[in-house]
């Protein structure tokens, strides 16, 4: 398969302007003739639906939550990046672009990343106009703080609730359009299939979660903004409902899935407490502005109260290893450093899988009221979960699955290889390479929804003859029958294990064998184990109830079935990519000091996997990554 990124010609800083200048337009009176389906109502989906409706398109929006404002974007804590340079500390569009390319270990498409940096400045203006309550300095100007992988302060924030406040801004814009009748909202509906005919997205098949009714919807374009796949690992910082179903079933309909092995481990999460847990809790990266990461130098001090360990007996790991960035080293680098010291037997806490995040120096320097003002809700959350006071003793943190850089392959227009299927935010692969820098997920979601898709979708409509199919078309009937067949099959197995048990086993396999570090052998072992689990699932899962009413066990079983297929694809991608880059760390490919060793001869490309059928090996396609402005080099934060 030939993957054409359709990147505009010309110098990198002018590509986006060149595209907008040359794009084809849809007459305002004609926009109402086009219908757009938007699946997912987080930051990317809500902003896209609201903006497209404001432009005049007919929009249908779908989410499986009971309200769009319950999308997982609401859980984002630390902030959103933008190259405003309000701090006058040397930031610029180019520096944000460079930091993002470098942070992704030179495995992202230059043109997409530069566009992201360009439109970042408009995002902040948009959100301020909506009333998003960003933190402000004493003079009233917007405040900034630092995040990992950057040596400037470019992160705008709302204490530790930035995602919530940004989503409320997008949600109110969406609600305005719902009230105006330009958006029709379908909450508590789950997309279970993509309808494709003549390699063109025609609509979707959904299940209404309260009634069990299966229904098709047709449109001129389908937009997926359904997030990532961290929950394939079972324990992650994602909400329990987050899943891979929409993107994976689109993959099975012909959309290529790019770089599934690029998974992000976030270094600051509350450590696992036991097998009873169903998810993990993120502690914002913003805490590393003032918190210092350390472990005891001597294993003999493990078990002591941290206050009893002398300053000279503490190993401030990140400050020692990465003096230029210190505690704000990027997430992949920081996570591996934490794992390394725990593997050495110097981890803290009941399980030995933890490091300290200490605020004593910051409290002494700035005062408790200042730290409480910046991070109060995060400290409160930590105390509610651990029964420990983070002001009085260091927090305990450990890396956990948080974000996924892989996703459906898209071109510069955010369209997949299926015509009319657009993919936004974390659901696509385009902007973060092999590792996402902190505070860039919110930036990408809102950039795609507010400022990119409205241009590229209009260009698609103006360039493509209208050919909307009715829901009576054979392609819709075939998709509905497939959904009904799987539902019947799941309900009829009557096995002895719940889907949660299978999910936990799949997640444990991925975490242990394809987690923070991988080897060729571990990836192959994961593939074999997941194949065994999948075979057992389809003969021994128990799904009670019926398909004609609310049935959360059925919902979960369908999602776990997809994880059991997708997990194999993830492990296969990790096995095939014979290098270490960003969050993909192959133990065979590292420098003597333990840092990731890329292969810029054989792997400067995006790997886009093509579905070939049930239990068949997928085809690996490549999109070469061309670097015109930034020269790939050994990534160093020392």
| Tens of pLDDT, residues 114-140 | 999 999 999 999 999 999 999 999 889
Comparing CA positions, the residue from 203, 204, 205 lying closest to residue 483 is 205
Reported as a single tens digit per residue, the pLDDT across 275-301 is 889 999 999 999 999 999 999 999 999
Joined tokens for residue 529: 């184990």
Give the pairing of strands 421-423 and 221-224. parallel
pTM listed for this prediction: 0.97
DSSP letter string over 477-523? HHHHHHHHHHHHHHHH---SB-HHHHHHHHHHHHHHHHSSSB-HHHH
Q: What are 257's strand-pairing partners?
A: 408, 609
- Helix and strand tally (H, E) in the chain? 17, 19
Give the pairing of strands 155-156 and 80-81. antiparallel
- Check residue 284 and give its pLDDT: 93
Q: Which residue has 């959350």 as its token pair? A: 381
- Check residue 276 and give its pLDDT: 87
107 within 8 A of 599, measured Cβ to Cβ? no
- Check residue 76 and give its pLDDT: 93
The list of the chain residues with pLDDT below 70 reads: none
Q: Which residue has 């219908």 as its token pair? A: 35
Q: How far apart are CA 310 and CA 301, in angstroms?
A: 10
Q: Can you list the positions of beta strands (E) in 546-617? A: 605-610
Joined tokens for residue 491: 């309900």
Comparing CA positions, the residue from 497, 495, 491, 506 lying closest to residue 564 is 506
Q: Can you list the positions of beta strands (E) in 86-177? A: 155-156
- Check residue 274 and give its pLDDT: 85
Q: What is the DSSP letter of 635?
A: -
Reported as a single tens digit per residue, the pLDDT across 586-596 is 999 999 999 99
- Check residue 596 and give its pLDDT: 96
- Check residue 329 and give its pLDDT: 95
313 within 8 A of 296, measured Cβ to Cβ? yes
Q: CA 403, 409, 411, 413 torsion: positive or negative?
A: negative
230 within 8 A of 301, measured Cβ to Cβ? no
Q: Which domains can be identified in the chain, with CATH numbers?
A: 266-400 (3.90.700.10), 474-605 (1.20.58.100)
- Residues 127-156 as b or e (16 or more Cβ within 10 Å = b): beeeebebbeeeeeeebbbbbbbbebbbbb
Q: Would you call 317 exposed, middle or buried from its count of C-beta atoms within 10 A (0-12, 13-18, 19+)?
A: buried
Q: How far apart are CA 357 and CA 12, in angstroms?
A: 40
107: left (phi over 0), alpha (psi -120 to 50) or beta: alpha
Comparing CA positions, the residue from 7, 56, 17, 36 lying closest to residue 457 is 36
CA angle 178, 182, 183 (to 5 degrees): 50
């Amino acid at each position: 398969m030939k993957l054409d990124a359709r990147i505009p010609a010309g110098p990198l800083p002018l590509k986006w302007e060149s595209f907008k200048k040359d794009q084809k337009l849809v007459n305002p009176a004609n926009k109402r003739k086009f219908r757009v389906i938007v699946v997912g109502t987080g930051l990317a989906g809500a902003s896209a639906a609201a903006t497209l409706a404001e432009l005049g398109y007919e929009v249908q929006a779908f989410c499986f939550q009971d309200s769009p404002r319950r999308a997982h974007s609401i859980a984002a804590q630390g902030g959103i990046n933008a190259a405003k340079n309000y701090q006058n500390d040397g930031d610029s569009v180019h520096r944000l672009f460079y930091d993002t390319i470098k942070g992704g270990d030179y495995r992202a498409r230059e043109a997409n990343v530069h566009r992201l940096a360009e439109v970042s400045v408009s995002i902040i203006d948009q959100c301020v106009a909506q009333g998003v309550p960003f933190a402000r300095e004493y003079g009233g100007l917007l405040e900034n703080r630092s995040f990992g992988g950057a040596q400037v302060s470019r992160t705008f924030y709302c204490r530790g609730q930035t995602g919530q406040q940004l989503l409320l801004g997008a949600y109110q814009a969406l609600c305005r359009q719902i009230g105006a009748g330009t958006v029709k909202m379908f909450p508590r509906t789950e997309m279970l299939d993509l309808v494709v005919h003549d390699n063109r997205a025609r609509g979707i098949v959904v299940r209404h979660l309260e009634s069990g009714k299966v229904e098709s919807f047709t449109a001129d374009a389908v937009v997926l903004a359904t997030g990532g796949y961290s929950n394939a690992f079972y324990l992650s910082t994602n909400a329990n409902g987050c899943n891979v179903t929409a993107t994976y079933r689109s993959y099975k309909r012909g959309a290529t899935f790019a770089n599934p092995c690029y998974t992000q481990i976030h270094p600051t999460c509350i450590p696992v407490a036991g097998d009873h847990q169903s998810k993990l809790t993120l502690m914002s990266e913003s805490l590393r502005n003032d918190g210092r990461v350390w472990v005891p130098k001597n294993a003999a001090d493990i078990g002591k109260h941290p206050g009893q360990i002398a300053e000279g007996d503490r190993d401030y790991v990140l400050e020692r290893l990465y003096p230029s960035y210190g505690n704000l080293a990027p997430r992949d680098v920081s996570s591996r450093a934490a794992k390394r010291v725990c593997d050495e037997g110097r981890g803290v806490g009941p399980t030995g899988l933890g490091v300290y995040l200490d605020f004593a120096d910051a409290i002494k320097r700035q005062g408790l009221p200042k730290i409480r003002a910046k991070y109060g809700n995060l400290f409160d959350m930590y105390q509610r979960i651990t029964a420990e006071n983070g002001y009085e003793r260091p927090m305990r943190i450990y890396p956990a699955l948080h974000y996924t850089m892989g996703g459906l392959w898209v071109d510069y227009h955010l369209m997949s290889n299926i015509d009319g299927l657009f993919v936004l935010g974390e659901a696509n692969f385009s902007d973060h390479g092999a590792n996402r820098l902190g505070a860039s997920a919110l930036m990408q979601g809102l950039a795609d929804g507010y400022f990119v898709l409205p241009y590229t979708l209009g260009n698609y409509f103006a360039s493509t003859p209208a050919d909307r199919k009715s829901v009576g078309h054979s392609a819709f009937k075939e998709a509905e029958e497939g959904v009904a067949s799987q539902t019947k099959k799941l309900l009829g197995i009557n096995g002895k294990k719940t889907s949660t048990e299978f999910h936990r086993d799949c997640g444990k396999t991925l975490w242990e064998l394809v987690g923070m570090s991988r080897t060729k052998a571990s990836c192959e072992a994961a593939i074999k184990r997941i194949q065994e689990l999948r075979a057992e699932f389809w003969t021994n899962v128990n799904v009670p109830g019926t398909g004609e009413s609310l049935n959360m066990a059925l919902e979960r079983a369908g999602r776990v079935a997809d994880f059991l297929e997708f997990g194999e694809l993830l492990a296969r991608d990790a096995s095939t990519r014979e290098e270490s880059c960003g969050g993909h760390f192959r133990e065979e490919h590292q420098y003597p000091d333990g840092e990731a060793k890329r292969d810029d001869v054989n792997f400067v490309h995006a790997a886009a996997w093509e579905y070939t059928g049930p239990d068949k090996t997928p085809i690996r396609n490549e999109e070469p990554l061309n670097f015109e402005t930034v020269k790939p080099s050994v990534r160093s934060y020392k």
